[in-house]
Amino acid sequence: MSANEIRIPKQKRSIEKKDAIIKASYGLFCEKGYYKTNTAEIAKEAGVSTGIVYSYFHDKKDILIEVVKLYIFQLEEQFKIILDQIAEREKLAFVIGEFIDLSISSHKMNRDAHNEFLALALLNNDIQDLFNGFEYQMLEKLYKILIEVGYSEEFLIEKLRISYGIIEQLCHDYIQGKTSDGELNKIKFLAVPMIMNLLGNA
C-alpha cells in the first residue's frame, strides 16, 4: 500500500479504532513478543478487520513505532510529576530517591514491555532513536531545572548522563533478578548520596 493510501484518522470513531489497534498491539507484543505476533491477531484483539489495520499502518513495523511512542509517552507523564518537584536545591536528594523509586516501579510494572522494546532497539535504529530522544529530553529538562536552582553548568549534562546510567543499571539488575529487595534498598541508600556528590556544588 502506498503512502498516500494510509488514512490519517480525524473523526472520533476512526481515532478510537487506531488507538485500539495500538493498545492491542502493545499487549500482544509484551505477551507474545513482536516477532511472534501477526497482524491478524492484532486485528482480532482490537476488534477490527485486518483491512482496517492496513488502512492506518503500512506494516507491523509502523505499528511497533506507534506502540513504542505510547510506551515512552507513559514514561514521560510519570516522570514529569517527579521532575516538577525540583523547585528548591534542598529537595534534590528527596527527588533523586523518588526518581529511583519511580524508575524501579515503572520497570517492574512494564517489565515485559521494557525487555521487549529494549531488545528491539538493539536491532532497529528507529526504535533506538525514540529511546535516545526520550533520554535526551529527560536529561535536558533535568539540566535546565538544576541550572535554575543554582548548579554549575560545568560538565553538568555529562554528570546527569552518568547519574541516569546508574539508575538505569540499578533498575535493570533488579528486574532481571540480579539483586534482591534487601540489596536494592542498600544500593538505593548508596546511590542517592553518590549522585548528589557527582552533581557537585552550585
Per-residue pLDDT tens digits for 144-169:
988 888 888 999 999 999 999 999 99
63: in domain: no
> Quick one: cell of 145?
531545572
Q: Write the CA distances from 166 to 29, 36, 103, 174, integer angstroms.
A: 28, 33, 11, 12
Q: What is the pLDDT of residue 163?
A: 94
Q: Write the CA distances from 189 to 88, 144, 165, 183, 186, integer angstroms.
A: 21, 26, 17, 10, 5
Same domain flag for 150 and 89: yes
147: in domain: yes
Residue 16 has pLDDT above 90, yes or no: yes
Residue 4 has pLDDT above 90, yes or no: no
78: in domain: yes
> Which helix (H) or strand (E) covers residue 35, if one does?
none
CATH assignment at residue 17 = 1.10.10.60
Same domain flag for 73 and 53: no
Same domain flag for 24 and 113: no
138: in domain: yes
**How many domains does the structure of the chain reveal?**
2
Same domain flag for 20 and 87: no
Q: What is the pLDDT of residue 89?
A: 64
Find the mean pLDDT for residues 17-46.
93
Same domain flag for 84 and 141: yes
Q: What is the pLDDT of residue 3?
A: 46
Same domain flag for 90 and 72: yes
How far apart are the C-alpha atoms of 111 and 117, rounded to whole Å?
10
94: in domain: yes
Residue 180 has pLDDT above 60, yes or no: yes
Question: Which of these, 28, 23, 36, lies nearest to 71 by C-alpha position?
Answer: 23
Residue 157 CA neighbour count, 13 Å, CB half? 8
Q: How confident is the model at residue 63 (pLDDT cuts 50, 70, 90)?
A: very high
Q: What is the pLDDT of residue 176?
A: 83
Residue 158: which domain range?
Answer: 68-199
Same domain flag for 110 and 154: yes
Same domain flag for 37 and 78: no
Same domain flag for 114 and 171: yes
